[in-house]
Structure 1
Amino acid sequence: MKKLIMKCADERRRAFAMITSVWEDDGKRFVEKCAVRKEGRRHLENMMRYRTLLDEIYPGVRVCPAKLTEDGLVFDFIEGSSLEDRYRLAASEGDRDALVLYMKSHAELLDSVPGGTVPFEETDSFREWFGDGSVYAGKPAYRAANFDATASNIILQDGEPVFIDYEWVNEFPVPRDLVVYHAIRDSYYHIPELESLLPLAEAIALVGVETEKEVLQRSYEHFFFSYVYGSDSDAGLSALTDRKKIDYLANERTLLAERMWKENERAVLVQRSEIDRLTKELEEARKKYADLDQSWFWRWDETRDALQKFREENAALRESLRLMEQDRDTWKSNFETVTNSRSYKDMMKLKGILGRK
């Protein structure tokens, strides 16, 4: 079994810090999401509950199967292209009409909840996730929604949409404008060139969002910075007198970043070795292809097909290598950022002071 891709979100709150990996075992791929810390187990259990809810509120969308194991949550690997791929293609080709079509289809998918919308009423759960909701009072709202239904989390398989990740599902009423805004806005973070093709302000108007963008962005930022990435209840440095706590806080993220960097580095080396092997086979196949007497057409055709297969495998491996190197460089940068940060140096200084007592 080999790891193909790994992404880590350890900078989140302890309850939400996750590592997501794509594995391949005997030719079959699967996705595993594991909690970085023990507090994250509940988040994984919630996702199993979310899956059941999504089946109910989006009957026209398939939800990626998952099973909870002792180690984490294991998902099927869904083959196909993402809706974000369609957005990206439209941007690269400068096809505004196609982009508008994709975005409207995206919004229609979110609107497909049975029973349509209800007037929004603020709840405690909404305030916890998004902050003050009084500005949305009476606006159209979904009774429940998949706030994680971004274009990157929707795979089109045989023409049908599939939700492949569902970490953030609202089990309470949430304004329709906020859900649609987030779904569309997320792609502009990942594909900056969308703005020049179709400005975000125009895009959200085209999909029926009427609430002011500044209001929606404020709610989104509360969710992102306060709910997902907000600080936990760990005491500040001034209250830390326990040497073990200082060791823990000073080293935890550093060690994790270093471990992930090294693990990605090993994966890169394995992938490079595989590419070298395949490149040699590709050269041998190319030589055979060039030497063939083309009157033996069936042999020529057979070798040509084999050569094309080698090319495709080589291209896939190189793309996988690029992603691995990107992850490795990210974790190396994280490691260097943490160890060079003022807070880390302050903790190490305090650790040294306490150690001399």
Structure 2
Amino acid sequence: MSNKVIYSKYNRERKTQFQIATIHYQNDYETKVKKIPLTTEAFNHIKAIHENSLLLKDVYQNIEVLTGEIIDGCLVYDFIQGTSWDQRLLTEVLSGNLVGFIKLLESFNDILTGLQPTGREDFISSDEFNTIFGQSLSLKDQQCVHPANIDFIFDNVFFTEGGTNVLLDCEWVFPFKIPIKYILFRSIYAFWVKYNVYIEPLISFDDILIKFEIDLELKDIFLTMEEEHFQLYVNGDWYKAGFFGRYVKEVHSLNTVTGLLEQSMINMKLFFPSDRGYSEDYVISKLCTRSTGIMEVSFILDANYSNKFPLRIDLLERPGVICFESIQIHEISETDSNYSLDYNMKDITYNDNIIQLEEKGEALFLSIGEDPQFFLNVNSISTKQLLVLRMRIDLNITPYVELILRRKTEDFQEEVGVHQQVLDKSKLENAHYLRKMDAYLERINVIESEKVAYETEISTYLERINVVESEKAIYNKGMNTYRSEIKEMKESLSWKVTAPIRYLGRIFKNRQ
């Protein structure tokens, strides 16, 4: 079963006790992320990361903490599906949406302040704090966390499809109080160092900090803590060459930087994976002069290479654009045979620092981070072979960033067009229903008129019935009077005396 590497990062520049590698890989059955100690001393650091994650899972309230498990001295996590806050923020920046960018930062700050929703207090640094961060610190009216994960940066927090935030990394956790403002500063600082070329047209670094009540004086304090003390704690004497060190370098104009890049060399590397991933111990480096045309670079592949992991190819150490013409593998023998990738680049993968673009039939790869990596899956090699890369490299990424923004704009306009069609259809349906409603209302009016007429007619009939009932009552009363009179007459003495006469009269009448 072969593992396909999606992403890898090696921290060889650190002190030996902190040197670890992070490998994101997948196979036919699972997708995992593994943290590997690169030195014997670093195993305790791997163990501490695991223990920190278990601790924070119990004490942090508004976020899920990924814990993983220790397997064969490595810390193995399940891969979390979602989008990092780094990518969410970068999307807003590349689309030029300053309001959306600031709102996302505010939401991230809400996550930090909700980790341990305690009250605010005056912060006075402890001896342990002073040892790590190099100075005594006293701040009024601060919200703090304890224990504190200061590596709560945007890369380490994922937002899942279910709307849950997941903390992936618990590498730098300290058992003492630390102000949340410093943790937020580190998050913004790390993001700025990577993407300042895209952010600065929207907003300055200082203006971002001001929005979160980090003034220039506090910024300088935090920078000193970060650059001159914490990085020394992690990296030793090499900390100035670390990830954050670029911020304090001399500032050059864009034209100067562009000119330097045009004349610069490109250091390309091919990594052969070992059983523990990739390292500088198994690498071929080639220093190439950048060309405006097609560049051809070749590497000799050792016959003992195993395909448990793919080859890793690092073509750039900076932002740029790569367009592959072809990727071929030739046997170094009398037999002429080669392996060539299809033009759609289906056999090559890349890490999160690369964005693929399709432009005019070409497969372009835009490097947006500091460590872009390509991965090439090949069959096991039984003889020495030659890997030949033909490509064009462009270090001017401005047109491609504009292309991304234009495509996003076009996608947005297309989406607006779809919504407009739905709206127009709704308007037509609404007009149709309004016409039907008018017809129903007109019919209701007719029925109401008929109802009034029927009610008038019924009233007339009821009045007639009342008259008839009155006449009937008068008639019944007369009949009753008549019957009473007849009865009274029949019961009278005269009626009884004349009874024989009436009898004879009837006989006589019948005989006639």
Q: Which TM bucket (shorter chain)? A: 0.5 to 0.7
- The one-character-per-residue Cα deviations of 1:239-291 (angstroms, maximum 9, x if unpaired) are xxxxxxxxxxxxxxxx952415589983459xx78xx89848x8xxxxxxxxx
Residue in structure 1 matched with residue 474 of structure 2 by the alignment:
none
Instruction: Give the residue type in structure 2 aligned to 1:130.
Output: F
Alpha-carbon contact 1:9-1:18 (below 8 Å) kept: yes
Q: Deviations over 1:280-317 (max 9, x none)?
A: 8x8xxxxxxxxxxxxxxxxxxxxxxxxxxxxxx94x95
Aligned to 1:198: 203
CA positional deviation for 1:151:
0.7
- 1:240 corresponds to which residue? none
Of 191, 215, 219, 2:221 maps to 215
Equivalent residue for 1:80? 82
Residue pairs, 1:174-189, within 5 angstroms: 174-189=178-193
- Partner residue of 1:113? 115
Normalised by the length of structure 1, the TM-score is 0.67
CA contact (8 A) 1:63 1:164 kept: yes
Q: How does 1:21-40 map to 2 (within 5 A)?
A: 21-40=23-42
Which of residues 277, 282, 285 is equivalent to 1:259? 282
- TM-superposed CA distance for 1:159, in Å, is 1.6
Which of 104, 109, 130 in structure 1 is aligned with 2:133?
A: 130
Alpha-carbon distance in 2 for matches of 1:168, 1:322 = 23
Q: Which has the higher contact order (CA 8 A, sep 6+)?
A: 1
Point out where structure 1 has 5 or more consecutive residues left out of the alignment: 233-254, 283-312, 330-357
Amino acid at match of 1:141: C
Give the SS at the match of 2:280. Answer: helix
Distance across 1 between alignment mates of 2:140 and 2:115: 20
Three-state SS of the structure 2 residue aligned to 1:208 is coil
Retained in 2: the 8 A contact 1:118–1:142?
A: no
Q: For the Cα contact (< 8 Å) 1:117–1:176, is it kept in 2?
A: no
CA RMSD of aligned residues (A): 3.4
Secondary structure of 1:68's counterpart equals: strand
> Closer, same or farther in 2 for the Cα pair 1:214/1:320, shift >3 Å?
closer
Q: 1:95 Cα deviation (Å)? A: 0.3
Q: Which has the higher strand share?
A: 2
Structure-2 change in CA distance of 1:92 and 1:279 (3 Å): same
1:38–1:100 CA distance, 2 compared to 1 (3 A): same
Distance in 1, Cα, partners of 2:44 & 2:90: 35
Offset at residue 127 of structure 1 (A): 1.8
Query: Is contact 2:350–2:374 with CA below 8 Å preserved after alignment?
Result: no
CA contact (8 A) 1:32 1:72 kept: yes
Given that residues 121 and 138 in structure 1 are in contact (C-alpha distance below 8 angstroms), is that contact kept between their aligned partners in structure 2?
Answer: no
Query: CA–CA distance in 1 between the matches of 2:63 and 2:119?
Result: 16
Give distance in 2, aligned partners of 1:54 and 1:121.
23
Kindly indicate whether the alpha-carbon contact (under 8 Å) linking 2:57 and 2:65 is maintained by their aligned counterparts in 1. yes
Q: Deviations over 1:104-126 (max 9, x none)?
A: 01111111122244432322321
The aligned amino acid for 1:176 is: I
Q: Which residue of 1 aligns with 2:11?
A: 9
Is the CA contact (8 Å cut-off) linking 2:54 and 2:67 kept in structure 1? no
Query: How much does 1:52 deviate?
Result: 2.0
**Contact between 2:66 and 2:168, CA under 8 Å: does it hold in 1?**
yes
Letter in 2 for 1:190: K
Change (3 A) 1:321 1:86: closer
Displacement of 1:142 in angstroms is 2.4
* Count of equivalent residues: 272
Amino acid at match of 2:27: D
Identity over the aligned pairs, expressed in percent? Answer: 20
Q: What is the alpha-carbon distance in structure 1 between the residues aligned to residue 168 and residue 352 of structure 2?
A: 23
Quick check: which one's helix share is greater? 1
Q: Hey, what does 1:154 align to over in structure 2?
A: 157
Unaligned regions of 5+ residues in structure 2, if any? 239-277, 285-300, 315-326, 329-338, 355-366, 376-512
Deviation at 1:49, TM superposition (A): 1.7
